[in-house]
Amino acid sequence: MPLDTPPPVAQVIVTAARLPPAAADAAFSIVHLGEGDLARTQRIDEAVGQTPGVSLFRRTSSLSANPTTQGITLRAIAPSGAGRTLVTLDGVPLNDPFGGWVIWSQLAPESLSGIDIVRGAGAGPYGAGALTGTIDLKERDGGIAADVSAGELGSQRASAAAVSTLGRLEFFGAASYDKSDGYVPVRGRARGTADTPTDLEAKSISGRVDMATGLGLLSLRGGFFEEDRGAGLAGARANASGNVFSATLARAPRGEALGWRLQAWRRTSDLFNSSVAVSADRSTTTPANSQDKTPATGWGLNGAVRRKTGGLEWELGADARWNDGEERERYTYVNGAYTRARTAGGKTSVIGAYADGSWTTGPWLVAGGLRLDHWETTDGKRIERNLVTGAVLLDQHPADRDGEVVSGRLGVTRDLGSGTVARAAGYTGFRPATLNELYRPFRVGNDVTEANAGLKPERLAGFETGLTHKNSNGLIEVTAFWNRIDDPVVNVTLGFGPGTFPIGGFIPAGGVLRQRQNAGRIDAIGLEARAERKVGPVTFRSALSATDARLDGGSSAPQLTGKRPAQAPIWSATAGLSAELTDALTLDTDLTWEGKRFEDDLNSRVLDPATRLDARLDWKVKPLVTVYVAGDNLLDANIQTSRTADGVPGYAAPRIVRVGLRLAL
């Protein structure tokens, strides 16, 4: 070898710092979405929403949903704006530190390699917030994906994500831009000049550096997002922004060697959100409140060690999350100016530890975990002032509260042979109330919902059993479950306008006063099923969810007993196909149907059943380049998403056809 020839360098394979999937996961209900599933959609929440039992609040995607209603819940037990599901990106929570909702525009589908949807309470490694399950997003760790499209309603979108390796470093970068002129949610004769489009402009950027070190793989990540949107009424708008930084150091277990992960993260967010009162003939609006700023910070630490010895795998871990935030708001609009101001917020924290593990022997897998969490709600405040005189009208400082929650899970699977697996699982979980639920009242049109600083954590217990059959031609999966939520946070009706109330103040005609309360319990029984079948060049897919959820309001809200939770449908179903028409031409269609929902806790405002047809035609012009035409809501169905007290319905987006170009490597 010549002296000037450098010695050979061993190839270093770098991926995002994360532990591999645990063997215990197979004992619970998990649906995996791959890059192919994500490539068919423009928004992550729309991709997730195709899974049976996944409930986006108010039937609206992030195309038109106000930031405060972008909550997500699994199993259709009781959807809410705050959401009852923990959403993570490689272990870092994406739920907003003030409100618990998820601003979906902070990530584009092109930036992900896959999504795991874990249905059932999140004891074990998931912890607080995973009341009805966990949605775990996995960031791309290889290749390139880019998408550019334009379509009706002035929609324009561009997104790209790429990974590049340089020596011992791997660089990931992603950026997206989404714009729409929007649509008017109110249609027909009910529409007035006060009804305006839900326009949208959203942008995000993120980056990650992965580096192999002597201790393990180090990942440093940062991201920023902002979205600005109209709320469908003249004078009502929302702007949400934030950033996140995380550092993860991990080493995957090899053989019987110990694997581990250490992670720290910090997330900030801010929200501007204005609302208006609407005249009876919907011709004019009057400013009702202006939530000028909502600065909030969430930060956390987590760590885990894992080892596998023969058929035994175990994991020990601990995690901590802290949230700190407040809203600064003006309200009571008189003679062309706001006359009152409110500052409300506080701090919450959850610190927990867990042990989780599994044992595999022959056809059996037994998995289980146990958690202990300590939660606190501190430094709460709600201060209201007269902006004209400066006088303090309200000065509340609720007492600090704390408590402990023990939760656990246990699952068993048996391989019956020939691709058939039976399983059964039981679990418990909890979700503390968000700062938004505890301290901030809000208004939508003429409806007012008051906060409640005394809210207790929601707690869930559940059991499920299922059967899965899988072979080279497809799969069939059926799951039956029972869940109970104790002390669910429910918006309880207190009175109707016009009138003045001890809390909430004056409620105009056609309006309703509600307050967030821990209202008894929710019992839900359900059935989930999905099937895929490949016949030649065509793959058929279908899914069904049936969830009968009922409230027992107890002595605190007896009027709710026997009612269905707001926004919780009993039935939902999807059917679709992917057909390879030629070597270069592929057709995808999805038909979605959902039964009626109720807009309110008293089940007095009915949202009609809804049907939606989506389709997409892809033409591969080159091995890595695809041109497509896609249509959302092709039948232009009137899909009801809301209904006011005086009976005016709001609707989801009409038919939108777009064309685009996609690059994938």
* The three-state (H, E, C) secondary structure of 106-154, written as one string: HCCHHHEEEEEEEECCCCCCCCCCCCCEEEEEEECCCCEEEEEEEECCC
Give the pair of three-digit tokens for residue 149: 């499209």
Residues 6+ apart with CB under 8 A from 329: 289, 290, 291, 292, 341, 342, 343, 344, 440
- CB-based contact 480:464 (threshold 8 Å): yes
3-state secondary structure at position 173 = strand
Stated as kind and residue range, the H or E segment containing 353 is strand 337-361
**Sign of the CA dihedral running 228, 232, 237, 239:** negative
Nearest alpha-carbon partner for 59 in 517, 484, 595, 549? 595
pTM of the model: 0.92
- State the pLDDT at residue 190: 92
Residues recorded for the chain:
665
- State the pLDDT at residue 11: 37
- State the pLDDT at residue 14: 43
Residue 282 CB neighbour total at 10 angstroms:
20
Residue ranges of domains in the chain, CATH in brackets: 23-490+509-664 (2.40.170.20)
- State the pLDDT at residue 644: 85
- State the pLDDT at residue 480: 96
Residues 6+ apart with CB under 8 A from 480: 464, 465, 466, 525, 526, 527, 528
- Per the listing, tokens 């559940």 go with 462
**Sign of the CA dihedral running 178, 181, 187, 192:** positive
> What gap in Å lies between CA 641 and CA 620, rounded to an integer?
36
Please state whether the peptide bond connecting residue 498 to the residue before it is cis, i.e. omega within 30 degrees of 0.
yes
Summarize pLDDT for 565-575 with one digit per residue, the tens. 998 999 999 99
Find how far residue 385's CA is from the centre of its chain: 35
What is the spatial order of strands in the sheet that 29-34 belongs to? 29-34, 112-119, 133-139, 86-89, 92-93
> What gap in Å lies between CA 375 and CA 430, rounded to an integer?
11
In the chain, what is the straight-line distance between the N-terminal and C-terminal CA atoms, in Å?
37
Phi, psi of 143 (to 5 degrees): 80, -175
> What gap in Å lies between CA 646 and CA 325, rounded to an integer?
35
CA 373 → CA 119, 128, 350, distances in Å? Answer: 21, 8, 7
Q: Identity (one letter) of the amino acid at 354?
A: Y
Torsion of CA 73, 75, 76, 82, to 10 degrees: -10
- State the pLDDT at residue 126: 81
Nearest alpha-carbon partner for 659 in 112, 108, 157? 157
Which regions in the chain score pLDDT beneath 70?
Answer: 1-16, 122
3-state secondary structure at position 111 = helix
